[in-house]
Amino acid sequence: MITRLIAIVILITSSALCQHFEVVSVKPSAPGDPGMYVEWPPGRLSLRNVNLRHAIKVAFLLDDYRIAGGPKWLDDDGFDIEGKTAEAATADQKRAMLQAVLADRFHLQSHRETRMVAGYAVVIAKSGPKLPKPEHPERQSASGWGPTIANGRNQTMEGFAQTLSASLQRPVVDETGIKDRFDFNLRWDAMVAPPVAGAEPGASVFAALQEQLGLKLEARHMPVEILVIDRAEKPSAN
């Protein structure tokens, strides 16, 4: 019984220690520093020229549409955040450490609530699905995305919806009923504007989806858990 209690105490202590960086630096980014960078090498987490919104996205693994509230400078001011960890620290542990930095240095306070958010459902188009079979079905599924691109290898329809959601920065759900895995390499010409109730979607992603994959996006409003920022302050110098 004593041995078991000691093991539990060690486990709790180890878990608590993993919630903070061994060494951390937070400072404003150099003026004119182009782009934002996030690196996850062993023993370190490095964020360069990231605004507070992006730091929150990394720390809580959220998309833009799932963050609400915050100060006026949320998207403007850039910061460099460097944290040293144990070599074996996982990505989840590093995210927890970054959350602690945001609370300690930015005085971030937030709560979660469910809100109705405009998004999309993926359905089958009248022409029928045109989903290429996986070229390498033995390989692990993978996906990539950007403002005008979504691609995947050996993916499920649920995975496709998640990838498209990351590209469009809107919630996307699967309503096709398709169970087969497939490859996709979707391209379109312009970013999608947020859907407007009663308006016909005109962005080229809708046409590309039907032409390339035989699928269709339909506007939906759906409940989504949102992180609401109640308070945040600019960090003090190291």
* Other beta carbons less than 10 A from residue 207's beta carbon: 13
Q: What pLDDT is recorded for position 182?
A: 96
What is the phi/psi pair of residue 139, to 5°?
Answer: -85, 155
Closest-CA residue to 188 (of 170, 176, 202): 202
pLDDT of 191 strictly over 60? no
pLDDT of 18 strictly over 70? no
Q: Distance (Å, rounded) from C-alpha 56 to C-alpha 62?
A: 8
HEC string for 178-227: CCCCEEEEEECCCCCCCCCCCCCCCCHHHHHHHHHHCEEEEEEEEEEEEE
Q: What pLDDT is recorded for position 189?
A: 78
- How sure is the predictor about 201, in pLDDT bands with cuts at 50, 70 and 90? very low
pTM of the model: 0.74
Q: Distance (Å, rounded) from C-alpha 139 to C-alpha 116?
A: 37
Over residues 211-227, mean pLDDT = 94
Q: What pLDDT is recorded for position 190?
A: 62
Q: Distance (Å, rounded) from C-alpha 176 to C-alpha 16?
A: 44
Closest-CA residue to 185 (of 206, 207, 163, 216): 163
pLDDT of 202 strictly over 50? no
Average pLDDT score over the chain: 86
90 vs 1, higher pLDDT: 90
Residues facing residue 146 across a β-bridge: 149
pLDDT of 31-58, one tens digit each?
877 788 999 999 999 999 999 999 999 9
pLDDT of 107-143, one tens digit each?
999 999 999 999 999 999 999 999 999 999 999 999 9
pLDDT of 197 strictly over 70? no
**Chain Cα centroid distance, residue 63:** 4
Closest-CA residue to 233 (of 112, 82, 69, 103): 103
